[in-house]
Chains A and B, each alone.
Chain A
């Protein structure tokens, strides 16, 4: 108040200040850049894509990176040998850095070559000879920097050298070198690195010859290294050969797989199999680097179209065009309809088409959404908070954008994701599990009662389709239409599949020995247990809904809510009864879904992904047969039988396949969703000029309410000023 006192004494001064502020605001309003732009003015009109991320990626090391929020970055930086065709569906692999698609040849257990159509039983090894393109170079990086004598500048750094180093950009010199086959071999060895904990090590050691022995060797090396962690980390993996991986020459390497494993090609399209140069291992493992948070996990190093130039996941991550990128062209062909939607307008153009991508941290959905509407993000998902503002659902279920968004030139892309959310029954449980007919009927009754059409409408804003089997659309083996419905749960009608009436479920329940939800033997009500880790308010509504589905059958459902750790424990020990779970495909193959019910993957016995602990001898036999088959009529037949077994046994209530909604502005092109490829950034294109124009039109500052607020404040203060002056001029006693 002391600062305000002169203002009260001299009202002219107060008015002067207000006029000055208003003038300042008006002058600001005349400047080129919108006031609410979160970006510096020098970025205006540049070919920069703006996006956001909600959580810091945990790993950017290709041996560890697995989550979807990590491959957003690693997918653009690293180049595995193969990639998915951007436009074609069903998903199709194509060469990325290899000259041709690798075709395996087979060997028997004596090492004799077998014919290409040898049966899986005969095949002891599959051999993949992989040839990479010459002339591919790594991004500029200090790990490659050399002095005039050809010695590495930063491979033997002392603590003194590192004194002024805080981030990777503090190294002044950068270098590069050509990609060679040995870099791919090194990365496969890194999957067995005992300090990296690659999530696919367990799986790959079942297939890549010698990988588990290699891990044991490395473990021994590290244990015998008495010089501590950093010295151990600097072990040069090139000194330790891996039996299943052989470098044939500068551009060719060979991978030997146990048995027949056609899905290996899909793995070759993931960053796990991207090249890592030995220089990176040497550079990052030097003493003092870890203390400065300088590691491959933080500063990736690849040959891809982009390189990570800023990694501050508390604020921003920036990827810029890799000046050494070997070049690639936009596909010339796609699936039918792509041309009509403009997806082939850029056919043949040089990739990547965007210079820089800035990802900003946005933890909350509301600010992210507002910035998208203001044009400060180029594309967005649709959160439940903003669903009604963005999407309108017609009475027939047709989905479209609201007029407000249409007027802004925003477009909507929808695609059914290659994932499934399901309710599982623990098959080890004495009530709902097992192979007995009553248990099976009970599970089928519950499957009918769980009205997933309602669930999708209430909890997913209609963003999903009820699942008829574990296989989502887009995966070979999924059958559309009448032939594809789960006849144990649905009837076919002229309008499509119709869930069977609840009376049918009650009939099955009675047959199972629980008429009207009571145990026929004891007369006691049937009480089942739903184990979950959902504790938020949204979860509470969801759990209420699930409880109501069981009430339809007069079954009492007790929800056993716990934290995620306890829930995981229950699943591992097999003490859960009914649970909700999900799976997102690693690759577009039926094997990647049906393995979730293969007995050798049972959670309790093998710590695998078969959370229901389902076991069926015929299903397992067919799975072993199916996983080695090429896609075709014969494989479809086997998959159909497997799916039918699952529908009959009902170890899952096949829940739903979520649908992804993506919104993007008029200036954003080639937005086709590709759920398998993680390197799609290079295909995107934006029109910066149009974006600038729209941003300006949408974000013109409105200053007059500020003036109004100030006037209101003055109006409120004036009586106080008058009262103050009157009080100060008042005489103590009036005569």
Chain B
């Protein structure tokens, strides 16, 4: 397994270089270093000289990918791409174009994001699987049909609607929780309650339907029929056998998102004023802060690759037939 992990880690390198290159190309197709300087220096009274100085200080006065005026290896190394990309592979994110340390910003903002994402993920998983199991148990009955219809209705409604309606009903009308805000530490629970509840509720429709499909497929297998014929209670059958055997497709969707949980949710964090990472990348794109954009895209890609690797590893835990080689 160790060799497998090493091999997958090595595969990640060309992928990350590719992602970095694409990010770089996309960013600089839309923004030139001059645009970035103008954005950072403000809209009023910006002189051409100030723009040149800003670029020179941050290394944006170099060619993008290939430096014709340099010699030897510097043709490649004395470029914006090389200068801004290499250190990422050591997870050194450096400073944003506004001068802030990106690593420190990430370490500060990831906790509030986790405070929302982790409970939403765990409670959601419990609720979706339980609800899907319930529908599978009553398959074909009016309960199943109404449940599926409810799921379709729930998944047809925009997530934004749940947020606005949730804030309106529980904060504005019933005065039960704060509309928005955040406090660090345990005091966060009052602010996390509503976004978590909304996050879980908003996901019921799509997730429960997905899990129901998985369970229904599993429930029709021979071993289930055999267990039932042996007189195993239906509840025990579902939770002890069906759930365990349905774990591979469940893990495929679940484990991959685990490492990216701290990256946060843009809309949820915006509406509930949660100081997380959800808006960090979007703000950076709006402010044309390439240093943050490349760092976050790189980090997101690395975490996604890690998630995929963990998913593969988790298969071996739930299905002894699977061997990684």
Contact = CB atoms under 8 A, between A and B. Distances in A.
A724 B53 contact: no
Given A315-B182, A366-B271, 7 more contacts: A363-B273, A370-B171, A607-B48, A609-B45, A701-B174, A703-B176, A728-B233
A314 B179 CA distance: 17
A66 B178 contact: no
A58 to B, nearest CB: 6
Interface in A344-362: 360-362
B191 interface: yes
B45 A701 contact: no
Interface stretch (B134-142, B252-260, B290-298): B134-142
A117 B193 CA distance: 70
A363 B270 contact: yes
Given A197-B41, A199-B41, A293-B100, A701 B95 contact: no
A232 B124 CA distance: 53
Interface string B128-146: 0110011001100101000
A1 B191 contact: no
A720 B143 contact: yes
Closest 5 CB pairs of A and B: A38-B181, A314-B275, A1-B130, A315-B275, A565-B35
A373 B187 CA distance: 24
Interface in A290-319: 290-293, 295, 297, 312, 314-315
Interface stretch (A29-37, A80-88, A650-658): A29-37
B191 A38 contact: yes
B133 A1 contact: yes
A569 B53 CA distance: 19
Contact of A199 (B46, B167, B190, B231): B46
Interface stretch (B16-24, B83-91, B101-109, B314-322): B101-109
Interface of B: 30-32, 35, 38, 40-42, 44-50, 53-54, 57, 95, 98-101, 104-105, 108-109, 112, 126, 129-130, 133-134, 137-138, 141, 143, 164, 167-168, 171-183, 187, 190-191, 231, 233-235, 238-239, 270-273, 275-276, 279, 283, 288
Interface stretch (A2-10, A139-147, A256-264): A2-10
B175 A4 contact: no
Interface string A492-536: 000000000000000000000000000000000000000000000
Contacts of B48: 607
A201 B273 contact: no
A202 B239 contact: no
8 contacts: A1-B134, A35-B175, A39-B181, A58-B98, A197-B41, A374-B172, A720-B134, A732-B231
A723 interface: yes
A197 B143 contact: no
A292 B104 contact: yes
Given A2-B239, A5-B235, A364-B270, A199 B45 contact: yes
Nearest to A8: B235
Contacts of A34: 175
A568 B38 contact: yes
Contacts of A291: 101, 104
A700 B174 CA distance: 8
Nearest to A198: B50
A569 B33 CA distance: 12
A3 B122 CA distance: 14
Given A292-B104, A724-B137, A36 B179 contact: yes
Given A3-B126, A295-B99, A38 B180 contact: yes
Contacts of B279: 363
Contacts of B133: 1
A290 B49 CA distance: 25
B325 to A, nearest CB: 34
Interface in A703-735: 703, 705-706, 719-720, 723-724, 727-728, 732
A273 B112 CA distance: 38
Contact of B275 (A39, A203, A361, A705): A361
A197 B138 contact: no
Interface residues of A, number: 65
For the complex, would chain A's binding face be called helix, strand, loop or mixed by DSSP majority?
Answer: loop
B45 A1 contact: no
A291 B101 CA distance: 6
Contacts of A201: 47, 50
A706 B275 contact: no
B101 A290 contact: yes
Contact of A66 (B44, B273, B283): B44
Contacts of B31: 565
A194 interface: yes
A700 B176 contact: no
Given A3-B126, A361-B275, A701-B174, A371 B179 contact: yes
A40 B134 contact: no
Nearest to B286: A55
A702 interface: yes
A36 to B, nearest CB: 5
Contacts of B164: 366
Nearest to B164: A366
A367 interface: yes
A702 B273 contact: no
Given A35-B176, A38-B178, A701-B174, A720 B104 contact: no
Contacts of A293: 100-101, 104-105
B219 to A, nearest CB: 14
Interface in A192-217: 194-195, 197, 199-203
B295 to A, nearest CB: 15
B101 A292 contact: yes
A370 B179 contact: yes
Contacts of B180: 38, 362, 364, 367, 371
Contacts of B108: 312, 314
A486 to B, nearest CB: 26
Chain A CB within 10 Å, residue with most, of B32, B143, B181: B181
B47 A315 contact: no
Most chain B CB within 10 A, of A297, A364, A719, is at A364
Contact of B174 (A290, A366, A705, A732): A705
A202 B134 contact: no
Contacts of B141: 723
Contact of A202 (B45, B129, B174, B270): B45
A563 interface: yes
A314 B110 CA distance: 11
A414 interface: no
A67 interface: yes
B101 A706 contact: no
A409 B101 CA distance: 45
A616 interface: no
A36 B176 contact: yes
B172 A199 contact: no
A699 B175 contact: yes
A720 B138 contact: yes
B42 A67 contact: yes
Contacts of A362: 180, 273
B275 A728 contact: no
Contacts of B174: 701-703, 705-706
Contacts of A297: 99
B167 A367 contact: yes
B182 A724 contact: no
Contacts of A290: 95, 99, 101
Nearest to B57: A195
A563 B172 CA distance: 38
Nearest to B187: A40
Contacts of B105: 293
